[in-house]
Amino acid sequence: MADSTRAMRRTIYERDILPKFRKRLLTEIEPDDLRALCAKVKNRGAPATAIHVRDIVKQIYAFAILHGEKVANPADEVGPSSIATFAPKDRALPPAEIRVMLACCRSAK
């Protein structure tokens, strides 16, 4: 994992997940709790971060289960598409914009 990815995930964990679930056992966190947290993050204008919240929680539970904990993973019941969907960006630059971009690149040298 790249250092930047690790730092981003740690920031999300510390800012969004830890304050909400710090005092709760793994068995006490329900899918509705995770869904509500993701909705809160999405409502502040961060849908991609809300998806990351779900993914990080899923990984935490997967780690715990792998190491012998008998818990249900709440993220299994919260699909990423139920949190946010993204439209693909398929815009291409027309020739006139490409010329402008190339001219800017050349002048920047």
Domain hosting residue 72, numbered range: 3-108
Tell me, what CATH number does 63's domain have? 1.10.150.130
Q: Give the pLDDT confidence of 18-63 residue by residue, as tens digits.
A: 999 999 999 999 999 999 999 999 999 999 999 999 999 999 999 9
The number of domains in the chain is 1
Would you state the pLDDT for residue 109?
Answer: 63
Residue 58, C-beta contacts closer than 8 angstroms, at least 6 positions apart:
73, 75, 76
Tokens of residue 95, six digits: 């020739």
pLDDT at 17 over 70: yes
Tokens of residue 79, six digits: 């699909």
Q: Averaged over 71-81, what is the pLDDT?
A: 94
Tokens of residue 21, six digits: 């679930």
